[in-house]
Each structure stands twice: as structure tokens, then as C-alpha cells.
Amino acid sequence: MKKSNDSIYDYIIVGAGLFGAVFTQQAVKAGKKCLIIDKRRQIGGNLYTENIDSINVHKYGAHIFHTSNREIWNYINQFADFNNFINSPLANYNGKLYNLPFNMNTFYQLWGTQTPLEAKAKIAEQCKKYDYITHPANLEEHALKMCGDDIYNTFIKGYTEKQWGRRATELPSFIIKRIPLRFVYNNNYFNDTYQGIPVGGYTPIIESMIKGAEVQINTDYFENKTYFDSLAPKMIFTGRIDEFFDFKFGKLEYRSLHFEHERLEINDFQGNAVVNYNEFDVPFTRIIEHKHFEFGTQPFTIVSKEFPNEYSKDSEPYYPVNDERNHTILGKYKELAKAYGNISFGGRLAQYAYFDMDDTIEAALEVARKEFKFIK
Ligand SMILES: Cc1cc2nc3c(=O)[nH]c(=O)nc-3n(C[C@H](O)[C@H](O)[C@H](O)COP(=O)(O)OP(=O)(O)OC[C@H]3O[C@@H](n4cnc5c(N)ncnc54)[C@H](O)[C@@H]3O)c2cc1C
């Protein structure tokens, strides 16, 4: 990359998702000249929301902000007002609805149990059958041992098999580390202290974060790498790490998603923002009804069905596949990255990891803190 004394910018930021935007915000605040580019036709990465006739549609999947980190909550609240939305998804299995996460309401709907003692006894009785499994060989054995037949067959098996495109007996047990079972009547999906949806959607947050930087969308770094490298002495790279190194150790694998968005001329389709579909035979995993994120009262509604699928060059890389092959390859790319002292590899694609939004902000602030020695 170019030396600083004849560069046009101080930083080039590849990717206008949350990581790139937070870093840019800090850099501009520190008086740095920044260029932020994104290959998509819009900013925001997977947080992008499109305002369609006053409903903010989460185009890359439902995003609910939640954190227990007060510093991060204060930080994000500089850029938007958050409402008091609480994520309380439902599960539809064979046409019957259940509350999530697994709690006393779910157990009542499954078995009619009314007290924590009754529910615990029911689960213990179902798990007993699987006491013989001492070292679960796969996800199915692991889950049956932890929660028994009913919870596994109703909520976990079909959903997980759709999500990963493989039978539960072929999936490693570590995908599900623990199964959170709550013995209180509480449908709040997250345990975090702070939660909400930004009023007006996420795109305005990203817009305010990158104010003061030059922005180029529809611009793929790899199509003009040498040129972009010549513009600044330092880079924040939030694209795919394997692509950065020209896939020399192989491609990192992903699971993908596609969304079918539909406008319906009724004021309410499902009465809730998120309804999961847990049967294997239903091809989508959930239906999102976007107006409920912001308590909308429009006479129409917009819903999105979320279909998991194999990643291909024409789809978006969503979920990293955490297995040994991919970890080995990732390790090799990370080793190479160490030689690039002027490039910070950050965000979900460059780190090949799933990060919630609060973790992404924290990581980007950390990079900025090292560069500029302040945080605001
Ligand atoms: C379906 C789904 C639901 C989620 N829901 C939640 C939730 O409810 N709550 C929560 O806290 N988190 C949620 N997350 C996580 C959240 O999306 C991430 O924390 C966040 O998007 C990470 O931001 P990022 O900048 O690392 O990545 P991204 O948002 O992916 O941004 C990276 C950007 O880099 C661009 N880019 C890549 N390569 C290039 C290139 N060669 N040239 C130019 N630009 C490039 C991409 O186009 C993209 O815009 C969810 C994730 C998914 C997949």
C-alpha cells in the first residue's frame, strides 16, 4: 500500500457493514480522511433495512439489537432512538403454536405441566431413556440426552436439519453446546439487559456513522485492488479473508439463506414479528412480519420467508461452517494476515465467525481504540 505522505486518504475501509461503519465513525472523529467502499448497491451490510411504504424491511434477516454491555448500548444510542421491542418468537410445528425460548409456557403447551417441578420431572423422565449415551456421537444423541424426545423432535430436529442441510445424526454435537431450558413463564428470547429496535430501521444508523467519509457503493475491492491499495497507507478489511488471499488454501465454507419478501393487503398476518417453522417438510425456517418490530399500524403488511440453502457464488455467505477443515484453513489465512501490519481484518467475514451486533461494535471500537487511543 502507498506511503502516507502521498496518499489521498488516511484509511480505506472495505465493507460498509456495521464493523466498517463503526471504525469509520471513530476515524472521522479522530480527524482522519476515509474512503469506505462496498460491493453491494447499498450500505449497511446485513443490517440493511429498506423503508417500503413506511415499513422498515430487514432485507438480510431479522435484526434485534441486544446487549448487556452498557458502553455499547450508550454508543449505539447516539445514532438512533431504540424502542422497547422484546423478541418473543413463536414456533409452529404441525400447525400448533408454541412459545420460545423453551420455558414454562412451552412446557405447558407440550405437556400441560403447570409448575417447574412438574416440568422438570417430565424432562428428567424423557432424558432417562438416554442415560446410556455417555459420549454423544452426533447432535441427535447430544440433544436427546439433554432434553429428551418431545423437545428434540418438536423444536430441534427439523429446524436444525433445515438450517444445516444435513441430518442431525451427521452433524457434530458441538453445534448445540447447551439447550437453554427456562423454568419461569418468560418468553423474552434474550437474557440481555438492553434490547430494542432502532426507530426508523438500521440504515439511518449506518448513514450517520459514515458521515464525513467518502462512500462508494457498487464497488468491489477485488476488481480494482491495486488502485484501492494505492489510495491509503492503512486499510480496514471486512470482506472474506479467503478471498483476500485468493483462496490459496481453499475456500472457507458457508451456509446461505434466501428471502422471499411479500406485501399482503391485510393489516396483520401473524400477530408477531417472528414465527419459526420447525418441521423439516416446511422448506423455510421462519416468517418475519416486519411491521411488528416497530409496532406498525399500516393497513397492509410485509412478510419475509427465510429459506436456508447451500452457499454458491451467486448467494450471500451467511453462516460459517465450524468444522475442523474450515478451522484448519482459517488458521492458515490468519497466519498470513499477521504479515500485513497496515491492514486490520475485522468483522464476520474477515474473522470467519458469527458475531452479534454488539460484539461487532465492540471489536470495531477496539481496533479504533488501538489506532486513535480514544473512544466516544
Ligand atoms: C440472518 C441473520 C440474522 C442476524 N440477527 C442478528 C440479531 O438479531 N442480533 C444481532 O445482534 N446480530 C444479528 N446478526 C449478526 C449481524 O448481522 C452481524 O453482527 C453484522 O452484520 C456484522 O457486521 P459486519 O460488518 O462484520 O458484516 P457485514 O454486515 O456482512 O458487512 C460486510 C460488508 O462488506 C462488504 N464486502 C464484502 N466483500 C467486499 C469486497 N470485496 N468489496 C467491497 N465490499 C465488500 C459486504 O457487501 C458487506 O456489506 C444476524 C446475522 C444474520 C446472518
At 234 the pLDDT is 98
Q: How far apart are CA 340 and CA 225, in angstroms?
A: 15
At 316 the pLDDT is 92
Q: How far apart are CA 39 and CA 17, in angstroms?
A: 11
> Does the beta carbon of 209 sit less than 6 angstroms from any atom of ligand 1?
no
* Residue showing cell 447432535: 139
What's the CA-to-centroid distance between 361 and ligand 1, angstroms? 12
The CATH number of domain 4-43+210-253+321-372, selected from 3.50.50.60, 3.90.550.10, 3.40.50.720, 3.30.420.10: 3.40.50.720
> Does the beta carbon of 252 sit less than 6 angstroms from any atom of ligand 1?
no
At 4 the pLDDT is 52
Q: How far apart are CA 114 and CA 129, in angstroms?
A: 23
Domain range list for the chain: 4-43+210-253+321-372, 102-175
Q: How far apart are CA 160 and CA 163, in angstroms?
A: 5
Pocket test for ligand 1, best of 25, 38, 46 (most atoms within 8 A of CB): 46
> Does the beta carbon of 16 sit less than 6 angstroms from any atom of ligand 1?
yes
Pocket test for ligand 1, best of 57, 63, 82, 252 (most atoms within 8 A of CB): 63
Reading the block at residue 62, the C-alpha cell is: 431479522
Q: How far apart are CA 190 and CA 106, in angstroms?
A: 16
Task: Name every residue whose Cβ is closer than 8 Å to that of residue 353 and which is 6 or more positions away in sequence.
Answer: 320
Q: For the chain, how are helix, strand and coil distributed in percent, rounded to 5?
A: 35, 20, 45
Helical ranges in the chain per DSSP H: 18-29, 70-76, 104-111, 116-128, 139-151, 157-164, 203-209, 225-229, 241-244, 324-337, 347-350, 357-372
What's the CA-to-centroid distance between 317 and ligand 1, angstroms? 9
Reading the block at residue 112, the C-alpha cell is: 400441560
pLDDT in tens, the chain (376 residues): 655 556 899 999 999 999 999 999 999 999 999 999 999 999 999 999 999 999 999 999 999 999 999 999 999 999 999 999 999 999 999 999 999 999 999 999 999 999 999 999 999 999 999 999 999 999 999 999 999 999 999 999 999 999 999 999 999 888 887 889 999 999 999 999 999 999 999 999 999 999 999 999 999 999 999 999 999 999 999 999 999 999 999 999 999 999 999 999 999 999 999 999 999 999 999 999 999 999 999 999 999 999 999 999 888 999 999 889 999 999 999 999 999 999 999 999 999 999 999 999 999 999 999 999 755 5
The residues carrying an active-site annotation are 178, 182, 255, 286, 306, 354, 356
By residue count, the chain amounts to 376
> Does the beta carbon of 61 sit less than 6 angstroms from any atom of ligand 1?
yes
